[in-house]
Amino acid sequence: MAKTVCHLSEGLIVQIAEAINSIRYGTVQITIHDCRVVQIEKSERIRLNSDADLTTGGLDEHVSRADRTTGSPRLALGR
C-alpha cells in the first residue's frame, strides 16, 4: 500500500497549537478523514489535591489541615 503524504496548512497548525496551549491538563484529539483534519476536540481536566479538604474545594492556594497543624510549607503542584 502506498503511503499518503498529508499536508497541513499553517493556519491548521496554529489552531492545533492554540488548543494545546489553552489547557493545563487534558487531551487534544484530532479527527482525520481522507487525509484532512475535520475536527479538533479538547477536553480539560481540573486536578485537585489528593488531600483535598471539602471546605476549600481542594484548590492549590489553600493550606490543608495537615499543613496548618504541622506548620510546614506547602508546595504548589506543577509550578
Residue 41 domain-assigned (yes or no): yes
| pLDDT number for residue 50 | 72
57 CB-near residues (< 8 Å, 6+ apart): 48
CA distance 1 to 16: 29
| pLDDT number for residue 26 | 94
Residue 1 domain-assigned (yes or no): no
* pLDDT tens sequence for the chain (79 residues): 778 888 899 999 999 999 999 999 999 999 999 999 999 999 999 888 776 666 666 555 544 444 444 443 444 444 3
- Report the number of distinct structural domains present in the chain: 1
Nearest to 42 by CA among 52, 29, 25: 29
Backbone angles phi, psi at 11, to 5 degrees: -65, -40
Nearest to 55 by CA among 67, 66, 46, 64: 64
| pLDDT number for residue 61 | 55
Q: How many residues does the chain have?
A: 79
Residue 64 domain-assigned (yes or no): yes
